[in-house]
Amino acid sequence: MVKKHERRTHLEPERKIEGGVFDVQTLVALRKLMKTGFIDKLEGPIATGKEADVFLARLKNEPRVVKIFRIETSSFHKILPYIQGDPRFRVRGKKHEMVFEWAKKEFRNLERAHYAGLKVPKPYKVMRNILIMSLIGTDGTPAPQLNTIPTEQIKNPKKLAKDLLEFMKQLYKKAGLIHCDFSEFNILMQSLSDPYVVDFAQALLTDHRNARPFLERDVENYIRYFAKYKLQFDREKLLSEIIG
């Protein structure tokens, strides 16, 4: 029996982590996050990638997500353009310090978007290269990415297009951000008509010197995706709607 002031800690995938991409300090940080009440248990992986692995975790019965950024395989040169020119973060010389800033950047960007009332994961804590946030999904099952859903299952693509355009507009106007990687790969569908947007580390402030080209790329991705449904949009008109 566990006393109330004690917290049971459990790292199910610990061997996999130790034998794979994460160092001892990452494991130490995970245990600190458990002891301080951000998660009770780290479960299996949800997704793996070149820059981060994403795990399902729990705090009591509440499912959460733990995103652990890779230190050794992260590309300094890919991260740098998104940190340079952002007064909120410092460009650091060591790779692990840059990855910590990258994790902090995603946390801060999610805070801004969530505070603005946008459909994004709620961020709870960032420590070193670890980010804890809410799970987008149902009953502990992560919501699918939009790119995995066959087009014929989206019954009302016009509404989805309207919702996602509204997201970009509110992200720009209320949160002061541009996503910079807005695509069907970074949109989770809580239901077939309820999109949430994820992956905010690369997001830039709207007054960043590179904001315009990244916004243009986001709009082009939007137009490309909805062309599958034979929906046509004018690029300049969309940009005016978002910025205006």
Catalytic residue list: 181, 199
Indicate the DSSP class of residue 185.
Answer: G
**Residue written as tokens 């652990």?**
68
Measured between alpha carbons, how far is 34 from 115 in angstroms, rounded to an integer? Answer: 25
CA 229 to CA 222: how far, in whole Å?
12
Q: Tell me the residue type at 108.
A: R
Both structure tokens of 147: 């790119």
Residue whose tokens read 């006393």: 3
CA atoms of 183 and 221, how far apart (whole Å): 6
72 phi and psi angles, rounded to 5 deg:
-70, -35
Scanning the chain, the segments in alpha helix (DSSP H) are 14-19, 24-35, 76-83, 95-115, 157-173, 211-226, 235-243
Q: Would you put residue 100 in left (φ > 0), alpha (ψ -120 to 50) or beta?
A: alpha
Count other C-beta atoms under 10 Å from residue 1's C-beta: 3
